[in-house]
Amino acid sequence: MTAVYIHIPFCEHICYYCDFNKVFLEGQPVDHYVDLLIKEMEMKTKGRSLDTVETVFVGGGTPTTLNESQIERLSESVHRIFPLSKNVEFSFEANPGDLSVSKLKAMKRSGVNRISMGVQSFNNELLKKIGRIHTVKDVYQSIRNMEEVGFENVSIDLIFSLPGQTEADFKDTLHQALALDLPHYSAYSLIIEPKTIFYNLMQKGQLILPTQDAEANMYAFLMNEMERHGKKQYEISNFAKEGFQSRHNIVYWSNEHYFGFGAGAHGYLSDTRYSNFGPLKQYMTPLEENRLPVFQTKDLTPKEEMEEEMFLGLRKVSGVSKARFFEKFGQELDTTFKEAIQVTSEKGWLENTKENVKLTKAGRFLGNNVFREFL
């Protein structure tokens, strides 16, 4: 199985917490970028025997900054270049307010069948504070537009532990989100990343965040409410109705291979991880000269592959399968990571069964502490 990730770096506005590769849309050569993106896909796959592609994910940046003809041109190329499975999951990330009926129809015509929308909060004041330019009204209008066009596989992203956010506010956001009864929800605790506006504010002592206790309470409430509303947790930050789990993200967490295309995109093929140049000009120039825009590659050692299998796979509620581990690496998981399993099990963070190792509910609160033990 193969997955395809495509990066669209353009944004109309930069969110204060975002550390993804992005540039302001205004004045950018978007058409030329799409042309070179298609060229990269053609060059990277030329002469390569391709497995069936089960998932395609167009992320960003803001992919819905593309206009209808750009969306159709890009999608047509994906269908032409890759052997897509009949039930391929074809996702587009979107911002509320970008999803006009005509744009959604263009996506539908192009074979897109899943939308992942960055809502983050149902509090307009909080949305302003984190640098979002949409409003709650835009969220509801986008949902109505998706229903009108016939998109059923819809996910929204939420962020908790935001600056100035109270537990009561997050509960209100979660109730409004769950009232939509969507098939999939992602909810992440805010992480302050370097090179973001929030990071600079934090360095100056100007960013007031909820306490660790408040953050833990928000996460506990999230898990309980999702369960109560029939959205089963299948990964630390992801919840879905049965059959609507993000197949694309499961590729990452299962440490499977995938192509990465676009400025700053990462890929993982034949035990080699690679990343493309991030700055737009540095990404585009090699392609204009018929060279791939790869910035760096890393061939993983067997030890590194096994470590990645653990810290990625333990994000899944189902954990890491011992049979699958042996099939991939020819080693017993219990023997290879005996000490790490013992330490984390004794702390009550890890459950070690005959079939797998997985985080306990308490371990989900402390995922990074657990993962470090396996490195």
Least confident segment among 52-56, 150-154, 193-197, 357-361: 193-197
Mean pLDDT computed over 75-89: 98
Mean pLDDT computed over 28-33: 97
Q: Give the separation between CA 38 and CA 76, rounded to whole angstroms.
A: 10
3-state DSSP assignment of residue 356: strand
Mean pLDDT computed over 214-227: 97
Q: Confidence class of residue 197 from pLDDT cuts 50, 70 and 90?
A: confident
216: which 2 tokens? 């833990």
Positions of CATH 3.20.20.70 in the chain: 2-253
pLDDT value for 103: 97
Ranges assigned E (strand) in the chain: 2-8, 10-11, 23-24, 53-60, 84-94, 114-120, 153-160, 184-189, 232-235, 238-240, 258-261, 266-269, 272-276, 294-299, 320-321, 350-352, 356-359
Give backbone dihedrals phi and psi of 355, rounded to 5 degrees, phi first.
-90, -35
Average pLDDT, the chain: 96
- C-alpha dihedral over 132, 134, 139, 140, to 10 degrees? 150
Residue 147, pLDDT above cutoff 80: yes
Mean pLDDT computed over 146-174: 97
Q: Confidence class of residue 51 from pLDDT cuts 50, 70 and 90?
A: very high
Least confident segment among 11-25, 93-107, 141-155, 181-195: 11-25
The yes/no answer on whether domain 2-253 falls in CATH 3.20.20.70 is yes
Mean pLDDT computed over 127-150: 96
Q: What percent of the chain has pLDDT over 90?
A: 90
pLDDT value for 63: 97
pLDDT value for 57: 98
Alpha helices, DSSP H only, in 82-166? Answer: 101-109, 124-129, 136-149
pLDDT value for 172: 98
pLDDT value for 135: 97
Q: Give the separation between CA 93 and CA 115, rounded to whole angstroms.
A: 6
Mean pLDDT computed over 353-360: 97
Q: With contact defined as beta carbons under 8 Å apart, do 64 and 106 qualify?
A: no
Q: Give the separation between CA 9 and CA 7, rounded to whole angstroms.
A: 6
Q: What share of the chain is helix, strand, coil (3-state, %, to 5)?
A: 40, 25, 35
